[in-house]
Structure 1
Amino acid sequence: MSNPTDFFLDSAKPSLLVVDDEPDFAELVEAVAEEVGYDVTVVTDPMRFPLAYRRDIDVIVLDLSMPDLDGIELIRFLAENRGSSALILVSGFDNHILEAARLLAHGHKLPVIAALQKPVNLAQLKEILQTSSRKQAAPLSQSRDRPTEDDLREALANSQFQAYYQPKVSLIDHHVTGFEALARWSHPDKGMIPPGIFIPIAEECGLIDELTSTILSHAFHECGRWARADMAAKVAVNMSARVLTDLSLPERLLDLSRENGIAPASVVIELTEGAVAERLTTLLDILTRIRMKGFMLSIDDFGTGYSSLSRIHSLPFNELKIDQSFVREAPTSHEARSIVETTVDLGRKLGMRLVAEGIENQECWDLLESLGSNEAQGYFIAKPMPAEAVLDWRLDWDKRHV
């Protein structure tokens, strides 16, 4: 069994830390993770976690119920230390405890890729780790230094940011309906830096508006290129709550659509549910005018935030994205499936299009199709791709599925 001094001997591999006071279970997780390709460290004494923890760990498997220092306290520790590791929460408690812990972590802006009830299905854990391993990819390990504000300013000045595009597909006829533009930072020395690291920095140092403008420019340009190639599709861009204070945003979006020769209806502006919970008066002003100019509005990560249904009803959304954490677990978790079913029913009754994100296998696809989701997005369809790969991918998809 590894120990905290053995971290990252093979820097080409993603790293995983198991924190669980049950040695037998910890060893099982270690074996599964090593089989997938992780460098694994195990901590069975939670009091040693602060010594073992490093901010460059990719994934932490965290038991919620441990003596002396429980998982909730460790989530608080990660939040206070600005952690960005992806979490897999495990517990022998009921799923209501797991969901509460997931919501707490989300409130602290900590990514949770799964919440699993003990006894854990090891095949399910392996699939989750395989998916996470692909997303954590080796380029992330090329440099573990946290980028600085100066790095970010230099990257913006030197066009190091680009948009990758992940397709959205109709669950009804399998046609490609659009692509979500996702920010990627290709650093010349540090490799690919994930958005979970650079977006919080951009928000902190006041550069999120410039970064958003860069991704919007890329996205609108590509949307116009698809239309000119007779492969018209919508493009979606996620916006930070920090950007939703600019009253000129509707005009900026309209100018971009005109410059690139695309209809506003070809663009979907996605907002996280957390953003919806803030500054209702300003949001109503900006979002209503965005919709009036013909753009689409989508609630992203629905079910993970704190907004009330009345607030969502009062804002002019016409699309709802079901959070991937619920979608991924819906085939095996009664609670997750119930949340997905309720969300689909709610969206349908509100007249909103429904997009299920996090579709990562045939089982998830079949379930969301049967429940009535309109669209699907996830690794089962395709992982995010650079702009130059989109048209070839689209031709191949249409040939095989339409």
Structure 2
Amino acid sequence: MNESPKKSKILVVDDEPFALKLLERQLTQLGHEVIPYENAREALGILEAGDHVIDVVFSDLQMPVMDGVDFVRQLVRAGYNGHLVLVSGEDPRILKSAEKLASAHGLRVLGSLSKPATREQVQQRLKAPATAECEPAKPQDVPYQLHELCAAILEGQLVTYYQPQVALSTGSLLGVEALVRWQHPRDGLVTADRFVNRMERYGLVDELIRAVLPAALRQAAEWQQDGIDLRLAVNLSMDNLTSLDFPDFVVDAAQATGFSLSKLILEITETRLMHDRLISLDIMTRLRLKRISLSIDDFGTGHASLAHLLDIPFDELKIDRTFIHSACHDESRKAIVKASLSLARQLNLSTVAEGVENAEDWQFLRATSCDVAQGYFIGRPMPADQLHQWHAEWKCRYANL
């Protein structure tokens, strides 16, 4: 909800008379029309009656009869489409959980406030962009069919974009992550999250990696010849780790381009369990013996993270964007990031932070022991021919950070 000269009509629900009066006064001083209620059921009644068009609801969490979580559920049932701010004196983690729940219900959440909030904090909440996790499915998100996915591979419709990875200590360009895209004849450029899962379901990921990896290696070798010596990170599906000849395919593909195996990182997501743990362990151990690095991707979001670190010869840990972005403002995220980095140091793993979206994320990571960063603040995924221009622009930006 952006700041606007329009006066908002705000419903405030809090069973504590003093807290209700304080928030009512703060909002009135900010120029808004306030409707205060101590009883959540009565407040819900005016929404259901439709007598008032409410722009924003401020709701306490800890209330008798109907608590804030129940009230959120009833707002959804009533079809409320305004904005929501949650207020509470409870543990900030409880407040954050309730905020996430409301957002997941599809409500337009402006954020939360811990009691007692200042007028400046209240004003800041009203300026915040709303978030809602459950948005209507888009027509273009209709699952792609087998014949379309096969055509993507066989007809050369797959293209590779590259996202830069830089050293946090110096800002130097260290490498790129290769990210597959689909130049769809009807839908334009389609991102991996919209088709790779379908390829896994249809058993096409082996064909996918055998198309993507050689092309990425050729491009990295070209950069090497131009004097840009980069490491190359490529994503693997767990389904790629079921064929015992996979390490030999990787070696042959690298040797065909002259790209050094020691500069190749294979990122393995942990969001899916291994189908055959013994075969997967066989393949990953052979890859490491060939001096290929293995990165545990999206660390902390999938299955048995710590068990994987114990059993599998990973040499890099990649911290998921879920924890990185806005960690400087969130004590729980901050604690998880610091604990992950400490664990990596003790296990002698290098670390990569993904999801660095703004200068605050960057400065937070600069104060940690993290080695490498990537994210929109540094550079978005781009076609190979744009890397030189991005690099020149990044060096100027970094000098001014």
* Pairwise same-fold verdict (TM > 0.5): yes
Judge which range, 168-177 or 274-283, deviates more.
274-283
CA displacement, residues 276-318 of structure 1 (integer Å, 9 cap, x when unaligned): 6664322221111001001111011111112142431221111
Q: What does 1:264-275 correspond to in 2, within 5 Å?
A: 264-275=261-272
Selected match of 1:314 from 311, 332, 346: 311
Selected match of 2:93 from 95, 108, 113: 95
- Cα distance in 2 for partners of 1:187, 1:396 equals 30
CA displacement, residues 246-286 of structure 1 (integer Å, 9 cap, x when unaligned): 11111111001100101101110001123466643222211
CA displacement, residues 179-234 of structure 1 (integer Å, 9 cap, x when unaligned): 00011111122112222210111011111111122221221111101101000101
Name the SS for the 2:313 alignment partner: coil
| C-alpha deviation, 1:101, in angstroms | 11
Q: What does 1:321-360 correspond to in 2, within 5 Å?
A: 321-360=318-357
Counterpart of 1:166 in structure 2: which amino acid?
A: Q
- Cα distance in 2 for partners of 1:91, 1:245 equals 50
Name the SS for the 1:313 alignment partner: helix
Contact 1:91 1:116 in 2 (8 A): no
Gaps of 5+ in 1: 1-21, 26-43, 45-63, 72-89, 103-109
- Cα distance in 1 for partners of 2:396, 2:178 equals 23
How large is the Cα RMSD of the aligned pairs?
A: 4.1
Pair 1:211-2:211 in alignment:
no
Selected match of 2:146 from 137, 145, 149: 149
Contact 1:226 1:391 in 2 (8 A): no
The equivalent of 1:199 in structure 2 is 196
Selected match of 1:118 from 112, 118, 131: 112
Q: What does 1:354-393 correspond to in 2, within 5 Å?
A: 354-393=351-390
Contact 2:110 2:129 in 1 (8 A): no
CA displacement, residues 54-84 of structure 1 (integer Å, 9 cap, x when unaligned): xxxxxxxxxx94569699xxxxxxxxxxxxx
Distance of aligned partners of 1:127 and 1:340 in 2 relative to their CA distance in 1, 3 Å threshold: farther
| C-alpha deviation, 1:348, in angstroms | 0.9
Pair 1:179-2:182 in alignment:
no
How high is the TM-score relative to the length of structure 1? Answer: 0.68
Contact 2:95 2:112 in 1 (8 A): no
Sequence identity of aligned pairs in percent? 32
Contact 1:270 1:297 in 2 (8 A): yes
Distance of aligned partners of 1:187 and 1:361 in 2 relative to their CA distance in 1, 3 Å threshold: same
Counterpart of 1:126 in structure 2: which amino acid?
A: P
Name the SS for the 2:280 alignment partner: helix
Name the SS for the 1:235 alignment partner: strand
Name the SS for the 2:325 alignment partner: helix
The equivalent of 1:290 in structure 2 is 287
Pair 1:165-2:162 in alignment:
yes
Question: Which is greater in Rg?
Answer: 2
Contact 2:165 2:173 in 1 (8 A): yes
Name the SS for the 1:180 alignment partner: strand
- Cα distance in 2 for partners of 1:125, 1:202 equals 38
The equivalent of 2:41 in structure 1 is none
Gaps of 5+ in 2: 1-9, 14-43, 45-67, 76-85, 114-121
Name the SS for the 1:165 alignment partner: strand
Counterpart of 2:353 in structure 1: which amino acid?
A: A
The equivalent of 2:35 in structure 1 is none
Name the SS for the 1:297 alignment partner: strand
Name the SS for the 1:383 alignment partner: coil
Name the SS for the 1:268 alignment partner: strand
- Cα distance in 2 for partners of 1:377, 1:127 equals 25
The equivalent of 1:78 in structure 2 is none
Q: What does 1:40-59 correspond to in 2, within 5 Å?
A: none
- Cα distance in 1 for partners of 2:269, 2:331 equals 25
- Of the two structures, which has the highest relative contact order with CA contacts closer than 8 Å and spacing of 6 or more? 1
Judge which range, 194-203 or 172-181, deviates more.
194-203
- Cα distance in 2 for partners of 1:206, 1:369 equals 41
Distance of aligned partners of 1:117 and 1:400 in 2 relative to their CA distance in 1, 3 Å threshold: closer
The equivalent of 1:61 in structure 2 is none
How high is the TM-score relative to the length of structure 2? Answer: 0.68
Name the SS for the 1:193 alignment partner: strand
| C-alpha deviation, 1:91, in angstroms | 10
Counterpart of 1:327 in structure 2: which amino acid?
A: I
CA displacement, residues 7-66 of structure 1 (integer Å, 9 cap, x when unaligned): xxxxxxxxxxxxxxx9889xxxxxxxxxxxxxxxxxx9xxxxxxxxxxxxxxxxxxx945
Name the SS for the 2:348 alignment partner: coil
CA displacement, residues 75-111 of structure 1 (integer Å, 9 cap, x when unaligned): xxxxxxxxxxxxxxx9978637967998xxxxxxx9x
| C-alpha deviation, 1:152, in angstroms | 1.0
- Cα distance in 1 for partners of 2:315, 2:126 equals 37
- Cα distance in 1 for partners of 2:277, 2:193 equals 26
- Cα distance in 1 for partners of 2:204, 2:211 equals 11
